[in-house]
């Protein structure tokens, strides 16, 4: 069944690639992947043929990728500011991540959440996320900044960005998907995850943004493998996103 997980992941990446041209096609592709992957997982739990197949454990994590995109396509409401969309996504997405972790039987150690890395390499990676975030903000100006310049508005926006975007993405890509892929393909896993991560930025319509985020995803994935901790990637991703939303416009 090795080809099955590749097909699901490939279809999800294809959906991201066609998003700028045909959002409806992306919705159809992602809906099909979500339903088929979960149906496949449910069938495998009852089939003696699939017993012991490590690819089956990967299916709930793969189903989270199209779910993330479907939520981003269906939750936007014209009467709500874009930052509000993230707030609406946060709860169902985080619940889905918890369910995915339970279905795949990943514990906090396997998800690299049990250890906090504070060594020099981790600190340097987090610090490097500041210029990367500024570059991202210049290449793809964000609409997620607060409407008000009050400190409370900035704090609320930052909290929503971290809870609605940073934490779910890191848990899905490098907390769930990467360790499961490591069991299948070894040290090539961060590369595959980085490609999937970069594909989610195709909608920015900028090859430079896709390349930048692919490089960032690869760096974060390598750091998680090196340190055994997801926290530098979470903090680095938060610094990256907040730098792009708040610092980049001030330095443009």
Structure confidence by residue, pLDDT tens digits, 50-89: 556 778 889 999 999 999 999 888 776 666 777 777 888 8
Instruction: For residue range 186-239, list pLDDT tens digits in order.
Output: 999 999 999 999 999 998 999 999 999 999 999 999 999 999 999 999 999 999
> Which of the given ranges, 27-31, 147-151, 156-160, has the highest pLDDT on average?
27-31
Coil, helix or strand at residue 208: helix
Total domains present in the chain: 1
The per-residue pLDDT for 52 is: 61
Check pLDDT > 60 for residue 177: yes
* Domain boundaries, position 96: 2-251
Three-state secondary structure along 3-35? Answer: HHHHHHHHHHHHHHHHCCCCHHHHHHHHHHHHH
pLDDT value at residue 2: 67
Q: Tell me what pLDDT residue 78 has.
A: 66
Taking the C-alpha atoms of residue 90 and residue 63, their distance in angstroms, rounded to an integer, is 17
pLDDT value at position 112? 95
Q: pTM (2 decimals)?
A: 0.93
């Amino acid at each position: 069944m090795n080809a099955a997980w590749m097909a699901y992941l490939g279809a999800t990446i294809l959906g991201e690639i066609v998003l700028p041209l045909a959002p409806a096609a992306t919705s159809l592709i992602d809906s099909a992947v979500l339903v088929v992957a979960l149906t496949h997982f449910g069938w495998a739990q009852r089939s003696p043929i699939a017993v012991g197949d490590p690819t089956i454990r990967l299916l709930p994590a793969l189903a989270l990728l199209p779910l993330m995109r479907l939520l981003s396509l269906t939750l936007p409401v014209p009467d709500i500011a874009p930052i509000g969309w993230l707030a609406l996504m946060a709860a169902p997405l985080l619940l889905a991540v918890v369910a995915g972790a339970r279905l795949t039987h990943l514990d906090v150690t396997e998800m690299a959440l049990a250890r906090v890395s504070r060594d020099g390499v981790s600190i340097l990676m987090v610090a490097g996320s500041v210029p990367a975030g500024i570059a991202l903000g210049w290449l793809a100006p964000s609409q997620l900044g607060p409407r008000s310049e009050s400190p409370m508005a900035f704090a609320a926006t930052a909290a929503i960005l971290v809870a609605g975007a940073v934490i779910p993405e890191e848990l899905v890509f490098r907390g769930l998907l990467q360790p499961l892929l490591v069991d299948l393909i070894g040290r090539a896993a961060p590369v595959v995850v980085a490609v999937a991560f970069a594909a989610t930025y195709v909608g920015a319509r900028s090859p430079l943004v896709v390349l930048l985020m692919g490089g960032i995803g690869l760096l974060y994935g390598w750091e998680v493998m090196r340190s055994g901790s997801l926290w530098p990637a979470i903090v680095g991703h938060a610094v990256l996103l907040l730098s792009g939303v708040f610092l980049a416009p001030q330095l443009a």
